[in-house]
A and B are shown apart, each in its own frame.
Chain A
């Protein structure tokens, strides 16, 4: 089966700074992959390139065989890529329900004339959309909280709501930017299970940026490590944990040696960086 996402030689510069440098990356349909790396390694920049927030300077990105570099964000969304944000970006003055309805925007068809006239098809579509939104609320455990303003939800709920909003678009590929940031280990565990459920139940391919190594190692099938905009390692979690360059990138040369000595207890020990 052809890979879902293929990035070749992707380069993004900000002035003199090379944020992403000649990155090659492929993502198989139905997989869960992570991008990790120290702060400023270019992870979020890479996400922004995929989702059309940045225009790449060189290289190409193909999604389902279609080149998507240079497309607008809404076009990329239409093709089936949805995302969440590092610092939650819900529509703060809209309710949870409305956030999920906006998420479905691209799957709805009603025109303004239809909406004004209140035609049967529009009403039917609205009913289904509300039903779907309620279903998503239940899915993330927010049933009954639909009328709460997004900004008034607790932090963890906001994270989940943001994921649900992305899901509402019925994407093929979901980009999660630090979905467990600021969560305690119990919540991280829940989020991990939730993400895996997304893939298993809904068949959505998932690419995530994550700092919490417990989550990364527990969930990813493949991991890509970035440092200074370049890919320094790629492979399954076990391999990455042992990779000397990765440990060095995270901890610097001296401490890396120390870590190597204590290699008996790898997961979680790197999460200090977050």
Chain B
């Protein structure tokens, strides 16, 4: 949370604001408050296990682990904010930051000392000696003062960033961010580098098996900062913006081709585990495009999306399985259309009764539907047909290949999912820009007025719901072949929540938002076990933060759309530079 605030563009230290008459005790009160808040956050990070669980993963091998990064970032953020709130003057700001950090650290010291006296594990799993070791950087009880110093120093750094002139602020923050990102993905970058003799040595030099080497860290910072400096020097960005329309259009094709090649190459370059992850991400992109119609365009919060996923998955499973519950042993390609149509009909069946009810009730009703489907799928009632908890197994891959073919693994599923996602994206864009898409958005904006403009609410909503269902069914169909089985525990609430979160965080009604949201919310937790433990914790924070700070999503549709086409080009000097407004301002 503190990071979020720290990134707000509200600016650097504003002298007049902090030059309050009271230089006495009142001036330091916000600093203390921030310290207490930081302490609470630090305690939270330790006791919910985030620090201990992230600790084994190194950011810079042998130097600093992710767990420590989490704590120090808290200190950094507290310091950054405290420096802004502290009484005037850079020296006082730094002092304030350090004090705030030290106060936060004192909480951890208190935890260590308390933990040494009483065994707290009965009430908090992670209040264990292992955690205390991390907090004291390995010194144990005698080093219980260390958190105060560590957080104090981190906060001082944060304060220093705040105090720095803006010219220097930028490089420091970018450098730190770059370290974090590159360090996180080090393992994934290293694997393909080691595969080729050309880059093998370089890979070993820069990256440890997890995280950066010290050399790698220095190189990262130098490269990123150098790049930034060069970038500003050449003013590449400005030139890019001034590129005439025609020239830019000529650039589109090569860029698209390079993008395509990259996407096709992606899973091959990085090993089969990663390929599986990419396939799952692509599946979620596909399903998110579907829910994007229902939620993003028509504004219907459907939390029972998994029901249609289940219909698609079980249909393909039953029709193609060569195992116990298979009924037809059809080829995949024949089963998919059936699955999609069934999912769509099912959407109509569920949608009809509930589409008349108001928005917040609709969300809960669909959630109820999803749960009913989940319970039924695993129930004894349907066990003779669906296999109960053990599910339908022996679902063949869509394309029969020899085991040593490059298409044998999750790769072919990735390509199929990718192709399907492209088709779905195409359909979604066409629909969005059509009479129907406009009607959906109108319903989202103001249902009553839309109806008074001649939009038949039930039919239009039903269509949005059915199309969303169809895409969910397609996602389920492909998913069942990815795993080669569909079991009832795959049909759970979290499928719905994942997809809804992608759209809400990524940006309602926006296509880059869907892709970015999937990579961010599905890809990262799938790649890092530590993250997947806290995936839904993070979702929770993300959903709240998005609703408060950016309800239109990170990549809102409005901006994207304006870049794609203009609908009304009467005058060349059109004042179209419209800021994205907040959703539901009406």
Contact = CB atoms under 8 A, between A and B. Distances in A.
Direct A/B contact, Cβ within 8 angstroms: yes
Interface of A: 51-53, 72-74, 76-78, 82-83, 85, 89-98, 101-103, 105-106, 108, 110, 112, 115-116, 118, 122, 125-126, 129-130, 133-134, 137, 143-149, 151-152, 165, 169
A53 B448 CA distance: 8
B567 to A, nearest CB: 5
A92 B435 CA distance: 18
Contact of B568 (A83, A115, A146): A146
25 contacts: A78-B454, A89-B448, A90-B586, A91-B446, A91-B586, A92-B445, A94-B445, A95-B568, A98-B567, A105-B438, A105-B453, A105-B455, A108-B435, A110-B436, A112-B434, A112-B463, A118-B430, A137-B568, A143-B571, A144-B568, A144-B571, A146-B568, A147-B562, A147-B574, A149-B558
Contacts of B439: 102, 105
Given A105-B439, A169-B454, A73 B581 contact: no
B567 A147 contact: yes
A156 B436 CA distance: 29
Interface in B429-481: 430-431, 434-439, 441-442, 445-446, 448-457, 463, 467
Given A91-B445, A145-B575, A147-B562, A97 B455 contact: no
Nearest to A96: B568
B557 to A, nearest CB: 9
A269 to B, nearest CB: 35
Nearest to B509: A93
Given A94-B445, A105-B438, A115-B436, A152 B450 contact: no
Contacts of B435: 101, 105, 108, 110, 115, 125-126, 129
A152 B579 CA distance: 9
Given A101-B438, A147-B562, A93 B583 contact: yes
A163 to B, nearest CB: 13
A70 to B, nearest CB: 15
Nearest to A88: B586
B576 interface: yes
Most buried by A among B437, B467, B570: B570
A83 B445 CA distance: 17
A77 B453 contact: yes
Contact of B434 (A82, A122, A130): A122
A149 B578 contact: yes
Contacts of A134: 568, 570
Contacts of B438: 94, 98, 101-102, 105
Given A134-B568, A144-B571, A102 B581 contact: no
A129 B431 CA distance: 16
B568 A74 contact: no
A137 B585 CA distance: 23
Contacts of B430: 115-116, 118
A78 B459 CA distance: 15
A102 B586 contact: no
Nearest to A165: B453
A115 B453 contact: no
Given A93-B558, A148-B575, A112 B581 contact: no
B457 A74 contact: yes
Nearest to A109: B435
Contacts of B437: 115
Nearest to A175: B452
Interface residues of B, number: 41
A94 to B, nearest CB: 6
A129 B437 CA distance: 14
Nearest to A142: B568
A16 to B, nearest CB: 25
Given A74-B453, A169-B454, 14 more contacts: A91-B446, A96-B568, A98-B441, A101-B438, A102-B438, A115-B437, A122-B434, A125-B435, A126-B434, A143-B571, A144-B571, A146-B568, A146-B570, A151-B581
B453 A93 contact: no
Given A93-B558, A118-B430, A77 B454 contact: yes
A89 B449 contact: yes
Interface string B400-421: 0000000000000000000000
A77 B581 contact: no
Contact of A92 (B451, B568, B586): B586
Interface in B107-133: none
B252 interface: no
B195 interface: no
Contacts of A94: 438, 441-442, 445
B472 to A, nearest CB: 17
Q: Which 4 pairs show the lowest CB-CB distances between chains A and B?
A: A146-B568, A106-B454, A115-B434, A144-B571
Interface string B265-288: 000000000000000000000000
B452 A73 contact: yes
Most buried by B among A52, A73, A145: A73
Contacts of B453: 74, 77, 82, 102-103, 105-106, 165, 169
Given A89-B449, A98-B441, A130-B567, A105 B454 contact: yes
B565 to A, nearest CB: 10
A116 B431 CA distance: 6
B441 A89 contact: no
Contacts of B442: 91, 94, 102, 105
